[in-house]
Structure 1
Amino acid sequence: MIKLPSLGDEVSVWMDAPPAKVWDLVSDVTRIGEFSPETFEAKWTRGSTGPEVGAYFAGHVKRNGVGPTYWSPCRVTVCEPEKVFEFSVGTDAMTVNNWGYRLEPKDGGTLVTEYFRMEPSLFTRVYWTLLGALRGRTNRKGMRTTLERMKAVVEE
């Protein structure tokens, strides 16, 4: 039996800040450009103005920090203040992947986990089988960078 690579990953960083302070960063998509090495700006769209299930936003991405830029349409799928903020990336007709943040109070601060998972489809399985190892390393590095930059801000 062939073992297919996992269609997702996660990175966790402990921050010396309460969940409420971390929540303000992870759920404010307009600030992602301060933290992410690939998504350099984002804006609420379709009349959405803040984090809630069903809210839409678009992220302006420069893959691997090089090459052409593009806008990725996103929709908030889980919004539990101070616990989980998750969004899908794709069109109304098709979700390509999901990204999110889990917040867990721990040792007087917050353990913050950023994660992604590809939606299982023939396209994503072929893509991930061919490029998953490379893209996975890039995603892990990007998630760690994002979380470390957030940590620096919430611990100021």
Structure 2
Amino acid sequence: MTLSLHKPLTREVSLHVDAPVEEVWALVSDVTRIGEFSPETFEARWRHGSTGPEVGARFKGHVKRNGVGPTYWSACTVTQCEPNEVFEFAVGTDDLTVNNWGYRLEPDGTGTTVTEYFRLEPSLVMRAYWTLLGPLRGRTNERGMRTTLERMKAVLER
């Protein structure tokens, strides 16, 4: 087995939404609503005194892997928070980030192009994981991101 040191450990999905960037921002940065949209994360709660999106805010996501299990809580920390532009968070502990998830927003005519993405940390363990399971997990994540964005779009365009 050869581990590529340059193979990207990331994927993204973009979708145009007929809603102003401020409305899209309010939705993607409200982690307590993710259970309405995500096929894997069915709830999230702010924790450690955090009450909303800002760099350093902490929350936990309740995940049902692949929509069937196992079920577990993931600790998350907001790492980028630029209103109406980007909302990103790291998944892991204070000592070890496993991956990063986020949303980029771009005004697009009368609407917004929203991009959901994930990026694995480039550790040897994550590179080995991605080499072995990356194609399968990458496709699963892409389907999940597309589902999440389509469900958000339906709410935003009502």
TM above 0.5, one fold? Answer: yes
TM alignment of 1:107-146, pairs within 5 A: 107-146=109-148
Q: Amino acid of the residue matched to residue 41 of structure 1? A: E
For the residues of structure 1 that align with 2:127 and 2:70, how far apart are their CA atoms? 24
Aligned CA RMSD, in angstroms, stands at 1.2
Match of 1:26 among 17, 28, 35: 28
Percentage identity across paired residues of the two chains: 74
Give the aligned partner of residue 153 of structure 2.
151
2:75 counterpart letter in structure 1: P
Offset at residue 149 of structure 1 (A): 0.2
The 5-angstrom pairing of residues 1-156 of structure 1 reads 3=4, 5-156=7-158
> How many Å apart are 1:67 and its aligned residue?
2.0
Q: Name the aligned partner's letter for residue 139 of structure 1.
A: N
Counterpart residue type for residue 146 of structure 1: T
How far apart, in 2, do the equivalents of 1:12 and 1:82 lie? 16
**Hey, what's the Cα distance between the residues in 1 that align with 2:62 and 2:156?**
24
1:32 alignment partner, SS class? helix
CA displacement at 1:107 relative to structure 2: 2.0
Residue 51 of structure 2 aligns to a residue in which SS? coil
* C-alpha distance in structure 1 between counterparts of 2:115 and 2:37, whole Å: 15
Deviations 1:64-91 (A, max 9, x none): 0012210000000000001100000000
1:73 and 1:96 map into 2 onto residues whose CA distance is: 10
CA distance in 2, matches of 1:129, 1:31: 33
Divergent runs of 4+, >4 A: 1-4
TM-score (norm 1): 0.97
Amino acid at match of 2:68: V
Residue 52 of structure 1 aligns to a residue whose secondary structure is: coil
Normalised by the size of structure 2, how large is the TM-score?
0.96
Where do 5+ consecutive residues of structure 1 fail to align? Answer: none
Give the CA deviation at 1:5. Answer: 3.5
Alignment partner of 1:6: what SS? coil
- State the 1:6 CA deviation: 1.8
Distance 1:67 1:139 in 2: 15
Aligned counterparts of 1:24 and 1:7: Cα–Cα separation in 2: 28
Deviations 1:16-42 (A, max 9, x none): 000000011100000000000000000
Shift of the 125–20 alpha-carbon distance from structure 1 to 2, 3 Å rule, reads: same
